[in-house]
Structure 1
């Protein structure tokens, strides 16, 4: 599950974006804020060029 974590906020008060595995009880921060998360996304066409 992807979610914004209001407990872990960045420099501008925005929540970080994380991956939560409910079954294992683990959390991984994917980006410090939503804008950074979106900027890291890659288009499907870009991925096909890499393979």
Structure 2
């Protein structure tokens, strides 16, 4: 049985807050950071790929 990757809602909120901060400091940087994280998560074996 494969285990399912879940990200705690508090962690998601913290990531979104960090992205907002980075976007204020350097527009687009927060979005790039979240996109990079999403690509890394997709590389974890067994994770679902978005369609």
Fold conserved (TM > 0.5)?
no
Q: Shorter-chain TM-score category?
A: 0.3 to 0.5
Which of the two has greater strand per residue? Answer: 1
TM-score by length of 1: 0.33
- Greater relative contact order (Cα < 8 A, sep 6+): 2
TM-score by length of 2: 0.33
